[in-house]
Amino acid sequence: MNQGYWSRPVTFETTTLGVYRTISSTAEAARVLLDDWPVDEGASFLGAKSLCLAALEGVIDHEEARQAFLKAAEEAGVFVRDS
């Protein structure tokens, strides 16, 4: 399976204040959304999960999954460092 490495990684603050994590692929984003995301509802969250899985299946481009991940972060109030 293609991990879907992104041209620009995303660094975000985890649920632990002051602790950041950088992800650089759709596979990592999917894992975070499924296992470590601070919310489990919301249109952008559900869309990001779906789009990450679709990208991993080769249905859509991995950049679309990256953009969906960023929208889910905005929706959840997750701080993203500008890289």
Which of the two residues, 48 and 83, has the higher pLDDT score? 48
Strands across the sheet containing 80-81: 20-25, 5-13, 80-81
Contact (Cβ atoms closer than 8 angstroms) between residue 31 and residue 48 = no
Query: 61 lies in which domain range?
Result: 5-81
Q: Which pLDDT does position 3 carry in this prediction?
A: 78
Total domain count, the chain: 1
Place of tokens 């489990």: 40
pLDDT exceeds 60 at position 7: yes
- pLDDT tens column, 16-63: 988 999 999 999 999 999 999 999 999 999 999 999 999 999 999 999
pLDDT exceeds 80 at position 2: no
Q: Which burial class, exposed, middle or buried, applies to 81 when counting CB atoms under 10 A from its CB (0-12, 13-18, 19+)?
A: exposed
User: Where residue 83 falls among pLDDT bands split at 50, 70, 90?
Assistant: low
